[in-house]
Amino acid sequence: MENKTSAIIKTVLFGLTSAILYFLLYYYNEPILESSKQGGWYFIVPISIALIFSFVHGTFTGRFWDLLGIKAKSIKK
Q: Where residue 71 falls among pLDDT bands split at 50, 70, 90?
A: confident
Distance linking the first and last C-alpha atoms of the chain: 28
Q: Specify the pLDDT at position 72.
A: 81
Tens of pLDDT, residue by residue over 12-60, are 999 999 999 999 999 999 999 999 999 899 999 999 999 999 999 999 9
Look up the pTM and report it: 0.84
Judged on CB neighbours under 10 Å (0-12, 13-18, 19+), 68 is exposed
Residue 73: per-residue pLDDT: 83
Has residue 66 got a pLDDT over 70? yes
For the chain, the structural domain boundaries read 4-68
